[in-house]
């Protein structure tokens, strides 16, 4: 795989072995004392001391913060900000999947703020409340190919008081540099590879189905879908396939760029389900995906027909839906939310939260209580036709 540097939407150093440039990237960002934010699993693996060794060799002083949950909560951010301030750090390296990347970005942002974090929820112009003088530089190093958080300007965290997943946004949360090294994703467990990979697909897929005119994001979303559909089965079959691992990293970043156009019912449902039942976000999107596609069919069939033709799937919308179902089955994705551990009796609370989720506003069909109720119930019962 050829190494390359990109400049969209932020500088990206892409290719095998690029992690060795981490110290140089820190120097370029004027970071001398980085806080390495990662998750407990990665903190216990050789990659974390390897990262510190690279930083030490570059003359940098670093410590690790890894006290965060798979679905991060407000207390995780508070603890991280305390660690950042106590260590007198001047920048953040976020290493890991979406949770670690989100937490790292929010820590770098909140370390300079005096207002509560929830004041910066991605609603209207809330971001303008922030003090911008000392927002720390952020370097992201993804180890999964899914969320695309490495190129995003926001992070998702659960408000435990309200049991809501909240999007914290500020333009300055865009990372200074991304190191996208596919070698770091090789050891990812199979189900995390599947869940994060299908999360990347959901981003691009919902983006191209979202209404509105954003041809750049739409085009990126089309190619992002193609890359996932081609390369995810390859990395599931052969986890050491560096070429396909790299293409999946590219697809993940592309999905996060594409969804500037919008998301939809997959994410509107996945957010409250994850907050309530602590399910893996990408896997939750994967479970609800075919039910949302079927429910939105009247508005998205021409788009899915074009996507099917572009990726080489025959049969238009029906052929594409069948392909999604077969792909999920081959990768052992649960067919229903109940199989994922969701209680169907929670329908009223999930629906109420879902229709208030920011992603609901760009679903191609109005995402009201009736629509959300039908999709959630269908996904619990495994009946695709129940959404018609």
Residue 149 shares a structural domain with residue 232: no
Name the DSSP class of 44: T
Whether 355 contacts 369, CB under 8 Å: yes
| Cα–Cα distance for residue pair 387/292, rounded to 1 Å | 8
CATH code of the domain covering residue 252:
1.20.1090.10
- 270 and 231 within one domain: yes
Q: State which H helix or E strand residue 63 sits in.
A: strand 63-65
Which of residues 166, 184, 202 is at a domain's end? Answer: 184
**Helices within 124-214 (DSSP H only):** 190-209
Is the distance from CB of 264 to CB of 357 less than 8 angstroms? Answer: no
Question: Helices marked H in the chain — which ranges?
Answer: 22-28, 40-43, 47-57, 74-86, 98-110, 190-209, 215-237, 242-258, 265-277, 281-295, 297-311, 316-330, 347-354, 369-381
- What's residue 388's pLDDT? 66
Q: Are residues 258 and 161 in the same domain?
A: no
Phi and psi at 143, nearest 5°, equal -115, 0
- 224 and 102 inside one domain: no
Is the same domain home to 144 and 206?
Answer: no
- The CATH code of the domain that includes 30 is 3.40.50.1970
Residues 121 and 211 grouped into a single domain: no
What whole-number distance in Å separates Cα of residue 211 and Cα of residue 213?
7
Q: Give first-to-last CA distance, the chain, whole Å.
A: 45
Please state the domain count of the chain.
2
Residues of the chain whose pLDDT is less than 70?
388
- Per-residue CA distances from 28 to 62, 91, 137, 153, 280 (Å): 16, 12, 10, 20, 35
**Whether residue 205 is found in the same domain as residue 342:** yes
Residue 253, pLDDT score: 97
Which of 184, 211, 241 terminates a domain? The answer is 184
Give per-residue burial for 77-99: e unless 16+ CB within 10 Å, then b. Answer: beebbebbeeeebbbbbbbbbbb
Phi, psi for 211 (deg, rounded to 5): -75, 170
DSSP element (H, E) containing 179: strand 177-180
User: Cβ–Cβ contacts within 10 Å for residue 7, how many?
Assistant: 7
The answer to whether residues 155 and 286 belong to one domain is no
Both 168 and 240 in a single domain?
no
64-102: per-residue pLDDT in tens? 999 999 999 999 999 999 999 999 999 999 999 999 999
Looking at the structure, tell me whether residues 221 and 124 fall in a common domain.
no
Tell me the residue range of the domain where 15 lies.
4-184
Same domain assignment for residues 220 and 159: no
pLDDT at 225 (0 to 100): 98
Place of tokens 């041809």: 215
């Amino acid at each position: 795989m050829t190494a390359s540097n990109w400049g969209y939407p932020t500088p990206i150093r892409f290719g095998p072995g690029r992690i060795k440039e981490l110290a140089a990237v820190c120097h370029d960002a004027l970071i001398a004392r980085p806080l390495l934010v990662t998750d407990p699993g990665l903190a216990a693996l050789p990659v974390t001391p390897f990262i510190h060794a690279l930083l030490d060799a570059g003359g940098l002083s670093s410590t690790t913060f890894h006290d965060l949950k798979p679905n991060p909560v407000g207390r995780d951010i508070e603890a991280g900000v305390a660690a950042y301030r106590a260590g007198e750090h001047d920048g953040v390296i976020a290493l890991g999947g979406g949770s670690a990347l989100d937490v790292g970005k929010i820590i770098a942002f909140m370390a300079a703020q005096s207002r509560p974090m929830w004041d910066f929820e991605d609603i209207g112009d809330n971001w303008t409340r922030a003090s911008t003088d000392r927002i720390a530089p952020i370097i992201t190093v993804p180890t999964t190919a899914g969320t695309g958080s490495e190129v995003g300007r926001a992070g998702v965290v659960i408000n435990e008081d309200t049991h809501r997943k909240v999007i914290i946004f500020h333009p300055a949360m865009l990372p200074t540099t991304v190191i996208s090294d596919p070698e770091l994703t090789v050891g990812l467990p199979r189900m995390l590879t599947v869940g994060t990979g299908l999360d990347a697909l959901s981003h691009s897929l919902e983006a191209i189905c979202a209404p509105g005119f954003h041809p750049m994001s739409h085009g990126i979303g089309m190619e992002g879908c193609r890359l996932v559909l081609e390369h995810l089965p390859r990395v599931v079959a052969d986890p050491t396939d560096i070429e396909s691992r790299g293409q999946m990293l590219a697809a993940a970043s592309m999905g996060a760029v594409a969804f500037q156009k919008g998301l939809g019912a997959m994410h509107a449902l996945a957010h409250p389900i994850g907050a309530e039942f602590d399910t893996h976000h990408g896997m939750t999107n994967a479970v609800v995906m075919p039910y949302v596609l079927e429910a939105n069919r009247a508005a998205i069939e021409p788009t899915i027909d074009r996507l099917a033709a572009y990726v080489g799937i025959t049969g238009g919308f029906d052929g594409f839906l069948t392909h999604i179902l077969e792909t999920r089955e081959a990768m052992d994705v649960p067919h229903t939310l109940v199989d994922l551990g969701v209680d169907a009796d929670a329908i009223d609370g999930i629906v109420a939260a879902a229709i208030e989720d920011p992603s609901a506003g760009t679903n191609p069909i109005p995402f009201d209580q009736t629509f959300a109720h039908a999709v959630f119930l269908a996904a619990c019962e495994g009946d695709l036709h129940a959404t018609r």
